[in-house]
Amino acid sequence: MKEIDIRPADLFNEFLKLSVDDINTFFADKSLFKHVRCPGCDSNVSHHGLTKYDFTYLQCLVCGSLYCSPRPNIGQLEEFYQNAKSVEFWATHFYQETADARKKLMFRPRAMLAADLFSENVWIDQDVELLDVGSGYGMFLDEVKRIGKFNSIVGIEPNEQFAQICRERGFHIINKYAEDITADDVSANIATCFEVLEHVYDPCTFLRKVQKALCVGGKLLLTTLTANGFDIQVLWQHSKSLTPPHHLNILSVEGMRHLFERSGYRILEIETPGKLDVDIVLNAYKENNFISESRFVNLLIAQNNEKTNNAFQRFLQQNNLSSHIQVVAERL
Ligand SMILES: [Zn+2]
């Protein structure tokens, strides 16, 4: 998989441009912003990490997580996710134009992983319900339905436009924020949550709500960004993954451990299976002429050796140093 497959530069740059416009529309009044503690370990000991589009990211001095603070309040974020142009562009252009690649390279493998969790479960002969939190355009729902192992598939999607798209394809969608769901809405055996945690106002509250929607012993498969990742560490303020107001929480691996413990889960697996760090860094250097900021990256670019790059990416995966993190956790 390459960066161009799932986020082509022209589409992604248009999305970033719309995000900047949205900041002026939705977040002009920064007096409403809230100061928060580290979303990973809950410490308030931090230093300035970086500033992007006038949003400040702090870095936790205990666990190394990066987080936006002060950040838009919950009402501001809900208004943004219902009406922002960048969100609509993501739904109507970005996702559609990368749909085939995303299905094949991202959502099919994730559906297989969810099916593996099903195979390991102890609910033999029971109806097994899968809950997908943040279903978006519904690509994961399509793939998991295709595998056909789950008796029931439910999606939670707060955006009305996305929820309607999924319903038109026959899926049961709860049109709410995960923070608003109750045990009456759903009681799932397996929950999945892909690329949502980085967006939410309060990750601990969010995960506790998902926990309540799982039966005891139920499992959660979650992916997000991590601050330990090579591309984020190298590119820092130049990283396209650090895009306020979309991405507010970029936790370290240690921060993720703290967060899951605080939220009522036992972590079964934590790994960084990302495939794109090296490609993203090389592309960013080519696009923006960052030459001389890192001699090591300059050396990688000068060598331009695919075998070396692939081996280096595997090293990052194997040592929890890729920016794409995956957690499997059990509800306590
Ligand atoms: Zn922390």
Secondary structure tally for the chain: helices H, strands E: 15, 11
Is the backbone peptide bond immediately before 245 cis, with ω within 30 degrees of 0?
yes
- b/e map 25-58, b = 16+ CB within 10 Å: ebbeeeeebeebbbbbbbeeebeebeebeebbbb
Query: What does pLDDT average to over the chain?
Result: 92
Distance 64 CA to ligand 1 centre (A): 6
Cα→Cα distances 68→54, 90, 201, Å: 11, 22, 10
pLDDT in tens, 286-297: 888 877 778 888
Residue bearing tokens 């560490």: 233
Lowest mean pLDDT across 1-15, 19-33, 203-217, 236-250 = 1-15
* Beta-bridge mates of residue 46: 60
Residue bearing tokens 């050796």: 305
Distance 37 CA to ligand 1 centre (A): 8
Six token digits for residue 330: 């059990």
**Per-residue pLDDT band at 187 (split at 50, 70, 90):** confident
Distance 60 CA to ligand 1 centre (A): 5
Residue 318 has a pLDDT of 98
pLDDT in tens, 133-153: 999 889 999 999 999 888 899
> Distance (Å, rounded) from C-alpha 67 to C-alpha 59?
6
- Asked if the model's pLDDT at residue 131 lies above 90, the reply is yes
Residue 253 has a pLDDT of 98
Distance 36 CA to ligand 1 centre (A): 11
Distance 264 CA to ligand 1 centre (A): 17
Distance 209 CA to ligand 1 centre (A): 21
Distance 189 CA to ligand 1 centre (A): 30
Percent of the chain with pLDDT over 90: 72
> Distance (Å, rounded) from C-alpha 110 to C-alpha 103?
10
Distance 234 CA to ligand 1 centre (A): 20
Residue bearing tokens 């991202």: 106
Distance 258 CA to ligand 1 centre (A): 8
Q: DSSP strand E in 35-106: where?
A: 46-52, 55-60, 66-68
Distance 155 CA to ligand 1 centre (A): 30
**Per-residue pLDDT band at 80 (split at 50, 70, 90):** very high
Neighbours of ion ligand 1 (CB under 5 A): 38, 40-41, 43, 60, 62-63, 65
Residue 185 has a pLDDT of 86
Rg (CA), the chain: 19
CATH number at residue 53: 3.40.50.150
Nearest residue to 88 via CA among 99, 80, 98: 80
Residue 125 has a pLDDT of 57
Question: How many domains would you assign to the chain?
Answer: 1
Domain that includes residue 75, residue range: 3-331
Distance 220 CA to ligand 1 centre (A): 22
Residue 229 has a pLDDT of 97
Residue bearing tokens 């996305």: 162
Distance 173 CA to ligand 1 centre (A): 34
